[in-house]
Amino acid sequence: MTERVQGELQMGVLRRIIWWDFERASWQWDLLCLLIVFFIFLTPKSWFGRGPGIAEEPKRIILKDSKIGRDAVNLESRLRELTGNPNLQVEHHQVKTDMSGETYFDVVVK
């Protein structure tokens, strides 16, 4: 088989795959469906990770911790300790009281 004929055959197969030009009950159809399913379930998450250009939204944390007290002086360091994230930054917080009179913090972090 010449290279030209082989190239035309490959292009024909590629064209049929792109245009999905196979009978529904054929083995080619089944193979393409299996390839799609494998791609969906076996693709690493890192391929679709967030790039550096996408900003993260702030996260809200509700914290009831007797070690902090009402003044929230150690709030950021305590949150870093609890979450294990040394880069955590507190954007703002509110000291609130629940119905039983216990104090908790409503914190927005990034």
Q: In this model, does residue 97 exceed pLDDT 80? A: yes
pLDDT at site 35: 92
- Tell me the two tokens of residue 28: 């080619």
Q: How would you write 3-71 as a 3-class SS string?
A: HHHHHHHHHHHHHHHHCCCCCCCCHHHHHHHHHHHHHHHHCCHHHHCCCCCCCCCCEEEEECCCCCCCC
Q: How far apart are CA 76 and CA 82, in angstroms?
A: 10
Q: In this model, does residue 21 exceed pLDDT 70? A: yes
pLDDT at site 37: 94
pLDDT in tens, 31-88: 889 999 999 999 988 887 766 665 667 788 888 866 666 555 678 888 888 888 888 8
Claim: this prediction has a pTM higher than 0.85: no
Q: In this model, does residue 25 exceed pLDDT 90? A: no
